[in-house]
């Protein structure tokens, strides 16, 4: 029996092969490879999908956070409040701009940044907040924007795991001063290589990102400010334009699979993901908590079901970013979290099989 993987970007490529082939063939007939008409078209289509005014294609999600921070005015020495429970990229991007990451605790239900913890961490040096919509569940953006207004802080949303998630019908990525998306292949909207985007509503911020992503050029070859090289490839934009059309149905299917898993786990003692009222979860990852996490993982593997850890260690406990903080909620979940297979192309039979296997689990 083949192992059922946690993610499977190849399955989507197979399903969309004809359309992707056509897009690549069109790209090969052209003579533009970077920042051409496919990138501009994708930028417009992605912004319009989100209900945003602007999207700017960049090389990856980490750069998207970095460029967004630069564009909203974060400078070396500024403090930026974020979480330790995220991909390392969130904190790495803050460090890249020379700012100081201030990692705070999470809400135990949503795993997103805790609002009271943000308030306690604000100092005169705080310049911005980077909430992460972790696993696809939106952070509490209404409270975060209120807090940001009260303390005159900038907000850069990390949307790398939450393409299409929303709060009261408004898509994440449209709340903050800017938002960063990753199109890493396994994401809900994934390229076939690296890619990212900065989304915003302000033409000035958008213009800054456009300059910063290409050596600070306003005019070709003339640098107006210090920028970096972080451009989205034409071929990736062409592929993303195909895949964008299937994002909503993919997310819907992810939520259906999640609901089936949660029903199967309802009497097991395993903690299933929580969704706040009024929120649409993008269900990028389906992460449970089990008191016997390692045994559950071994049991699933023996039944042909792969699992993963998102993540094996909190960022503030990794050598590169270690700080002496006591993040009680964050630290308490790290022994228990486990990601189950989650991608739209899982067949009904596979989902039913996984549910059957989960129903038998009785060690929590
Ligand atoms: C929460 C989060 N932020 C940022 C990133 C960085 O994106 P990328 O890998 O495209 O640089 C990722 C992806 O790994 C992520 O999951």
Tens of pLDDT, residues 246-292: 999 999 999 999 999 999 999 999 999 999 999 999 999 999 999 99
Closest ligand 1 atom to Cα of 132: 1
Do 194 and 183 form a contact (C-beta atoms < 8 A)?
Answer: yes
Ligand 1 and 141: CB distance under 6 A = no
What token pair was written down for 363?
């060690």
Ligand 1 and 236: CB distance under 6 A = no
Do 44 and 50 form a contact (C-beta atoms < 8 A)?
Answer: no
What domains are there in the chain, each with its CATH number? 9-103+111-244 (3.40.640.10), 247-360 (3.90.1150.10)
73 Cβ neighbours under 8 A, 6+ residues apart: 127, 154
Among 182, 287, 308, 342, name the best residue to mutate to test ligand 1's pocket (greatest count of ligand atoms within 8 A of Cβ): 182
Ligand 1 and 188: CB distance under 6 A = no
Alpha-helix residue ranges (DSSP H) falling in 157-292: 203-212, 234-244, 247-265
What's the gap in Å between 22 CA and the centre of ligand 1? Answer: 28
Decide if pLDDT at 1 tops 70.
no
What's the gap in Å between 160 CA and the centre of ligand 1? Answer: 5
Ligand 1 and 90: CB distance under 6 A = yes
Tens of pLDDT, residues 162-186: 999 999 999 999 999 999 999 999 9
Tens of pLDDT, residues 27-63: 999 999 999 999 999 999 999 999 999 999 999 999 9
| Predicted local confidence at residue 93, as pLDDT | 98
What's the gap in Å between 62 CA and the centre of ligand 1? Answer: 6
Do 133 and 157 form a contact (C-beta atoms < 8 A)?
Answer: yes
Ligand 1 and 184: CB distance under 6 A = yes
Q: Tell me, letter by letter, the H, E, C secondary structure of 180-194.
A: EEECCCCCCCCCCCC
Among 80, 82, 86, 89, name the best residue to mutate to test ligand 1's pocket (greatest count of ligand atoms within 8 A of Cβ): 89
Cα–Cα distance between 212 and 208 in angstroms, integer?
6
Tens of pLDDT, residues 292-306: 999 999 999 999 999
Decide if pLDDT at 342 tops 90.
yes
Q: How far is CA 13 from CA 23, 185, 250, in A?
A: 12, 10, 13
Ligand 1 and 189: CB distance under 6 A = no
> What is the maximum span of the chain, computed from C-alpha positions, in angstroms?
65
Ligand 1 and 358: CB distance under 6 A = no
Residue 267's CB: how many other CB atoms inside 10 A?
10
Q: Which residue has the tokens 């979940």?
A: 333
Tens of pLDDT, residues 85-108: 999 999 999 999 999 999 999 999
Alpha-carbon torsion (331, 334, 336, 339), positive or negative: positive
Decide if pLDDT at 15 tops 80.
yes
Tens of pLDDT, residues 125-145: 999 999 999 999 999 999 999
Decide if pLDDT at 69 tops 90.
yes
Tens of pLDDT, residues 316-329: 999 999 998 889 99
What's the gap in Å between 187 CA and the centre of ligand 1? Answer: 9
What token pair was written down for 339?
């990601």
Residues paired with residue 100 on neighbouring β-strands, in sequence order: 79
Query: For the sheet containing 279-280, what is the strand order?
Result: 170-171, 166-167, 279-280
Considering only CA atoms, which residue is closest to atom 14 of ligand 1? 87
Ligand 1 and 157: CB distance under 6 A = no
Among 57, 64, 82, 87, name the best residue to mutate to test ligand 1's pocket (greatest count of ligand atoms within 8 A of Cβ): 87
């Amino acid at each position: 029996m083949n192992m059922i993987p946690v993610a499977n970007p190849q399955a989507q490529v197979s399903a969309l092969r004809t359309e992707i082939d056509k897009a690549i063939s069109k790209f090969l007939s052209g003579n533009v490879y970077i920042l051409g008409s496919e990138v501009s078209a994708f930028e417009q289509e992605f912004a319009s999908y989100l209900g945003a005014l602007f999207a700017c294609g960049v090389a990856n999600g980490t750069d998207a956070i970095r460029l967004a921070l630069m564009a909203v005015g974060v400078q070396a020495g500024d403090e930026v409040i974020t979480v330790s429970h995220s991909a390392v990229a969130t904190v790495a991007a803050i460090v890249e701009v020379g700012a100081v990451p201030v990692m705070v605790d999470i809400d135990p239900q949503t795993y997103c940044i805790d609002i009271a913890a943000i308030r306690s961490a604000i100092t005169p040096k705080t310049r911005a907040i980077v909430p992460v919509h972790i696993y696809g569940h939106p952070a509490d953006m209404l409270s975060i924007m209120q807090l940001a207004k009260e303390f005159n802080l900038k907000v850069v949303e990390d949307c790398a795991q939450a393409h299409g998630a929303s709060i009261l019908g408004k898509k994440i990525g449209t709340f903050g001063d800017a938002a960063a998306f990753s199109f890493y292949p396994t994401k809900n909207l994934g390229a076939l290589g690296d890619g990212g985007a900065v989304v915003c509503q302000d033409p000035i911020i958008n213009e800054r990102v456009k300059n910063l992503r290409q050596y600070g050029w306003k005019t070709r070859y003339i640098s107006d400010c210090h920028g970096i090289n972080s451009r989205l490839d034409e071929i990736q934009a062409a592929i993303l334009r195909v895949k964008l059309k299937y994002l909503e149905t993919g997310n819907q299917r992810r939520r259906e699979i999640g609901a089936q898993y949660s029903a199967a786990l309802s009497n097991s003692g395993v903690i299933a993901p929580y969704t706040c009222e009024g929120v649409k979860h993008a269900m990028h990852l389906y992460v449970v908590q089990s008191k016997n996490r390692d045994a559950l993982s071994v049991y699933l593997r023996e039944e042909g079901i792969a699992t993963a850890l998102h993540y094996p260690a909190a960022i503030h406990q990794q050598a590169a970013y270690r700080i002496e903080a006591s993040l009680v909620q964050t630290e308490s979940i790290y022994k228990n979290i486990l990601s189950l297979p989650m991608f739209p192309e899982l067949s009904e039979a596979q989902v039913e099989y996984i549910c059957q296997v989960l129903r038998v689990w009785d060690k929590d």
